[in-house]
Amino acid sequence: MSIGPICVSRIFCFVATWILTLATPIAVLPAYGQAAIPIPPASTQSQTSGEPVTTSPDSVSSEYGQLSAGLAEQMPQTSLSADQIINILQQSPDLVVELKSELADRMQQQGVQINPNDISDQTLYSQISSNSNLRTSITSVMRARGYISNDDLQSMGSSVPEEDSARLLPSTGSSLSRGDNVVEADSGTSERSSRVGENDNSTNADPFMRSDRSRQSVEENSRRHEKVNASTDSPKVLRRSAPYDLQSMRDLYTQVPNENTQLRRFGSDVFVNRSVSAAVNTPLDVPLGPDYIVGAGDALIINLWGGVTQSITRTVDRDGSIFLLDAGSIQIAGLSLGKAQDLIGSKLKQQFRNAQVSVTISRLRSVRVYVVGDVQQPGGYDISALATPLSALYAAGGPTSVGSLRTLLHYRAKQLVEKIDLYDFLLHGIRNGSAPFESGDTLLVPPAGKQVAIFGAIKRPAIYELKAEETTLASVVEDAGGFTAAASLNHIRIERIDAHSQRVTVTLSDHDTQSLESAGGVIDNFKVEDGDRIRIEPILPYSQQAIYLAGHVVRPGRLPYSDGMRLSDVLRSYQDMLPEPAAHGELVRLVPPDLHAETIDFNVPDVMIGNANIDLRPFDTIRIFGRYEIDAPKVTIRGEVLRPGTYPMSKGMTAAGLVRMAGGFKRDALLENADLTSYKVSNGNHLVEDLSTVKIGAAVAGADTQADVPLKPGDILAIHQITSWNDMGESISISGQVRFPGSYGFTDGEHLSSVLRRAGGLLSTAYPIGAVFTRVQVRELEQKSREELIRQIETNSAAARLSPSLAGSNAGGELQLIKAQQEQVLSDLKNHAPTGRMVIHINADIDSWANTPADIELRRGDKLMIPKRPGFVLVTGQVYNVTALTYAPDKTAGWYLSRAGGTNATANRKEIFIIRANGSVVGRHSGGWFDTDVLSTKLNPGDVVVVPQKILGGSLFWKTLLSSGQLAASVAVTAAVAAAAL
């Protein structure tokens, strides 16, 4: 199947739109792995490992949009050059195959039926070279699929926009300022960040406060780290080059990549972008119970009703008392809210009969709490009396990279009030730490305990802190949210630090986890240790119970396989296939144990009727071909039809059917007979041609049922043209000094004299000697000759033009003169287009030359211009005064030349020539070898004397070339002289 220009344009109308769809986030189309990009390691090391940190680019996001707006607005304007993209595609043939396959599928959805194999590499490469939007889109896809990285773009000379670079390479500063433990999930490393802000007082007056701008930057960078690890995610794989263009083979040629994403300490994001003021000034939005201990600074509202109605607001002073006008000073600090209400009520009831009293807290007091240890901003903080340890930790900016999240110690003087585990809140939402703070209390954040990193097919990959002395893998998995549905419990790999001496790798497959039940038991009992890095491997990225349907079918792709499945279970009827499938089909089987490919042929019609059936196996690929894809039978029609060309030969096609397929006859078609050329192979070694005549008009009209003939593959039908059809409407244009100028039609074989008579003959003012007769065919021949002459002059080297006698100390100057002369001749040739003039010999007495050799036969497009008598002779070329001189009878060329001032120093007097008014040329040898004096020639009106320039250089070939160029450029002058005489 060949692809014409229109089809090619339709193909690449869809390319950029489809590329945008390919460039959707990796969570949606994660067909390729991501390449890691190294970043500078932090200054300190984590207890989990000590190798350099690397990170991976985020997925490039783009929504499916219009070509004009989507490419410009949604995709980062970063593009490799066409050569760089083509080089990568040539090194990754699988990517080329996938581009073509996906493109063909999308075009079929748009109603354009095309085979991916019909899209040539050269067609794809040419579009990449000419379409900048396509290059941008493919670059984004290559980067998102892991074929190139951000470093590759920089090394190849492509700039990455700042915004896009932030997405590709998360800022290391965000991790450091946040105090995370950042671990590269693949490299076996983790880096503990610096304790930023802990001892730095240079930027803020208050060493315990961070700027809002810094916190906002931290939060933005944190969002860039967000990673979805859902059970429904497609597996992330690295594709290897497959030897065959089979989807099954491409599925198998995949590798599960190492994780390249950054791991952070679980719970560190809780303390990002939390301002101290929000934690300190906690509004009183919850009711206080009667057990609340009243203290100095609390604001009370005392509502009194009964004998009198009154509302009184009092604040507990530093002595712990409040003053009431009727009851005096009442000491309530240290009492619970219920007891304080009873005490106040008893005092007021002594003053007011039947008084009822209610006491509430309108504003809580602040307490000074010291947050110390491994926190971002250790120091003293004034917080609400109801604040929890989590609120105090918020105020201090959260723990540093070495601060514990599982053991927070609440001290009151030397007494330990309680221990707080933040994992209860982070994992289960339980806010423990019920003991209220009192002024002077201390919250100590000790260094973190044992830590393990878990990643891979887990819902919440991160670094987790262990609390118990002995923790099982099952509890770590529970903290991490559990396994994803794609987790392979038989392939769990643990990298462990052995006794501060070496790293070892432990796999649970060593513990006989051959079944899901045994794997679960091992996980429940397996003890994790400090520094373990646990990788949960995913299951195989492809289905092991699948077959593949490809080719000329309605629904190509992957199909489920079941035991006992046969070929007829897939190919049930012709409705499952596109129109006109070929009878030949293929079953490509990957034969175990090494899964090498073997092809099994089958007959499609036999499968349809159940005579030929094949048992299927996993990874089988069923290929169905179109009738016109495998040695397609074709026929050709030429000549006078609307759409001549080569057509697929359908079943039962006849000559009349082919004419109708080609759009029918043109008006100039000869309907009587057509030629039908057929071919057949004789003895299998040579071709025999058979030419026959078909009564094509009767066959198409249906007037003669015997006229139509069936066609065979390779037949050529030629529809002829009616005799002399192209000669209809032939005309000649006559202008100038004739009685009736205009366009005159003529019949085939008519001569010039006949048309001139119909034009009324020549006027008395006509000058027939200077008549200019032009013909299209002559102009075309002159153009070809002139182009060849220009090519020879341009390709002849200047060094070859320099004669040995001129070669010397001034050779450079001579070469410059030769070059200038060459450019002048070339300019004259290019600026004076050929006229196509034919030399004719006519006069005013038409009868005197009619029916003689001078009476030429006319052709379509001929033009005749009859000028007036010019009355002058033109002298041009290398003379002192290029001018037109009034004609003087019986004067020679030498006489006119002398009147023009004679020749100058650069003239070539030996090669002076004359161009007559009728276009003929008189040169040095025109009158014979013994009559070489051109200047003695008598001139007529309209003649032109041309004095050529002396040709520099000693090469005879070069002199001949330039002389020819000077002559060709001067011939057009006579036509201009005649036109001026009109």
Binning the chain into helix, strand and coil, the percentages to the nearest 5 are 30, 25, 45
Per-residue pLDDT tens for 270-323?
A: 876 544 444 444 444 456 777 778 888 888 888 888 878 888 888 888 888 888
Tokens of 693: 């005549």
| Whole-number Å distance between alpha carbons of 410 and 284 | 23
| Whole-number Å distance between alpha carbons of 110 and 14 | 9
Residue with tokens 């008009």: 697
Q: Would you tell me how many other CB atoms lie within 10 Å of the CB of residue 378?
A: 23
For 526-619, strand residue ranges (E) read 527-528, 533-538, 546-551, 557-560, 581-591, 596-603
| Whole-number Å distance between alpha carbons of 21 and 19 | 5
With beta carbons less than 8 A apart as the criterion, state whether 311 and 301 touch. yes
Sheet holding 944-947, edge to edge: 883-886, 872-877, 944-947, 913-915, 921-922
- End-to-end C-alpha distance for the chain, whole angstroms: 60
pLDDT number for residue 110 = 64
Tokens of 776: 């299209």
3-state secondary structure of 686: strand
Q: Would you tell me how many other CB atoms lie within 10 Å of the CB of residue 620?
A: 23
| Whole-number Å distance between alpha carbons of 537 and 841 | 99
CA 533 to chain centre: 39
| Whole-number Å distance between alpha carbons of 72 and 69 | 5
CA 777 to chain centre: 49
Q: What are phi and psi of 181, to 5 degrees?
A: -90, 110
With beta carbons less than 8 A apart as the criterion, state whether 39 and 172 touch. yes
| Whole-number Å distance between alpha carbons of 618 and 539 | 17
Residue with tokens 């060493």: 207
Instruction: Tell me which DSSP letter residue 674 carries.
Output: E
CA torsion through residues 783, 788, 792, 795, sign: positive
Whether omega for the bond prior to residue 593 falls within 30 degrees of 0, making it cis, is yes
**Longest CA pairwise span in the chain (Å):** 161
| Whole-number Å distance between alpha carbons of 478 and 459 | 10
pLDDT number for residue 149 = 67
| Whole-number Å distance between alpha carbons of 629 and 493 | 50
CA torsion through residues 848, 853, 859, 864, sign: negative
3-state secondary structure of 391: helix
| Whole-number Å distance between alpha carbons of 823 and 949 | 13
* Residues comprising the chain, all counted: 982
pLDDT number for residue 816 = 74
pLDDT number for residue 624 = 92
CA 710 to chain centre: 49
Nearest 5°: the CA angle 318, 320, 322 is 100
| Whole-number Å distance between alpha carbons of 206 and 157 | 46
Nearest 5°: the CA angle 92, 95, 97 is 110
Weakly modelled stretches of the chain, pLDDT under 50: 1-76, 159-181, 187-226, 274-285, 510-514, 799-800, 929-930
Q: Would you tell me how many other CB atoms lie within 10 Å of the CB of residue 685?
A: 6
Report in angstroms the alpha-carbon separations of 488 from 62, 333, 509. 32, 62, 11
Nearest 5°: the CA angle 132, 135, 138 is 150
Per-residue pLDDT tens for 191-210?
A: 333 333 333 333 333 333 33
User: In the Cβ-directed half-sphere of 736, how many Cα atoms lie within 13 Å?
Assistant: 27
Nearest to 570 by CA among 545, 590, 553: 553
pLDDT number for residue 643 = 94
